[in-house]
Chain A
Amino acid sequence: MVQPVLEWQAGRVTAIRPETRQTKSFSFALPKWMAHRPGQHYDVRLTAPDGYQTQRSYSIASPPERLGEIELTVERIPDGEVSPYLHDVLMPGDQLELRGPIGGYFVWEVSLGGPLLLVGGGSGVVPLMAMLRHRAAQHSTLPARILYSSRSAEDVIYRDELDGMAAADPTFEPFYTFTRQPPAGWTGYRRRIDATMLAEVMRPFDRRARVYVCGPTLLVEAVANALVQMELPIEQIRTERFGPTGA
Chain B
Amino acid sequence: MAGLISRGFLGRRRPAEVENRLPPGQYLVTDFPVLSAGPTPHTPLDRWSFTIEGLVQSPVTWSWEEFQKLPTQTYTIDISCVTKWTKLDTKWLAVSVDTLLQAVQVDPAGRYVMAYSDGGYTTNLPLDEMVNGQAFVAYQFDDKPLEPVHGGPARLVVPHLYFWKSAKWIRGLRVVERNQPGFWESLGYHIHGDPWKEERYSGD
What is A's interface to B at a CB cutoff of 8 Å?
A: 1, 3-6, 8, 10, 43, 45-49, 51-57, 81, 85, 89, 94-97, 102-106, 217, 220-221, 224-225, 227-228, 234-235, 237-241, 245-246
Contacts and interface: CB of A to CB of B under 8 A. Distances in A.
Contact of B188 (A10, A47, A97, A104): A104
Contacts of A6: 201, 203-204
A3 B203 contact: yes
B193 to A, nearest CB: 14
Nearest to B19: A52
29 contacts: A1-B187, A5-B202, A6-B203, A10-B4, A43-B84, A45-B3, A46-B9, A47-B3, A47-B4, A48-B6, A48-B11, A52-B11, A54-B11, A54-B25, A57-B83, A57-B84, A85-B8, A89-B9, A94-B7, A103-B187, A104-B188, A105-B37, A105-B187, A106-B37, A217-B33, A221-B40, A224-B38, A228-B39, A235-B38
A48 B33 CA distance: 26
A227 B13 CA distance: 42
Given A104-B188, A234-B119, 18 more contacts: A3-B202, A46-B9, A47-B4, A57-B83, A81-B12, A85-B6, A89-B8, A95-B4, A96-B4, A97-B3, A97-B6, A105-B184, A225-B39, A225-B42, A234-B38, A238-B38, A239-B37, A245-B85
B29 interface: yes
Contacts of A220: 34, 36
A81 B38 contact: no
Contacts, number: 129
A203 B201 CA distance: 39
Given A3-B188, A81-B11, A81-B12, A47 B5 contact: yes
B35 A241 contact: yes
Interface SS, B side: loop
Contacts of A57: 83-84
Nearest to B86: A246
A238 B39 CA distance: 8
Interface string B33-67: 11111111010000000000000000000000000
Interface of B: 1-13, 24-29, 31, 33-40, 42, 83-85, 119-120, 149, 183-184, 186-188, 201-204
A96 B6 contact: yes
Contact of A49 (B5, B33, B187, B201): B5
Contacts of A47: 2-6, 9
A235 B186 CA distance: 16
Contacts of A48: 5-6, 9-11
Contacts of A245: 29, 31, 33, 85
B13 A52 contact: yes
A43 B40 CA distance: 26
Nearest to B24: A53
The 6 tightest CB contacts between A and B, nearest first, are A5-B203, A104-B187, A47-B3, A224-B39, A3-B202, A55-B25
A1 B119 contact: no
A54 B25 CA distance: 5
Most chain B Cβ neighbours within 10 Å, of A56, A234, A245? A245
Find the residue from A57, A94, A102, A235 having the highest chain B CB count within 10 A. A102
A97 B85 contact: no
A105 B42 CA distance: 22
A60 B187 CA distance: 17
Contacts of B38: 224, 234-235, 237-239
B168 to A, nearest CB: 13
Contacts of B42: 225
A244 B39 CA distance: 21
Nearest to B119: A234
A3 B119 CA distance: 25
A56 B42 CA distance: 31
Given A48-B10, A89-B8, A53 B25 contact: yes
B120 to A, nearest CB: 8
A42 to B, nearest CB: 12
Contacts of B119: 234
A11 B38 CA distance: 32
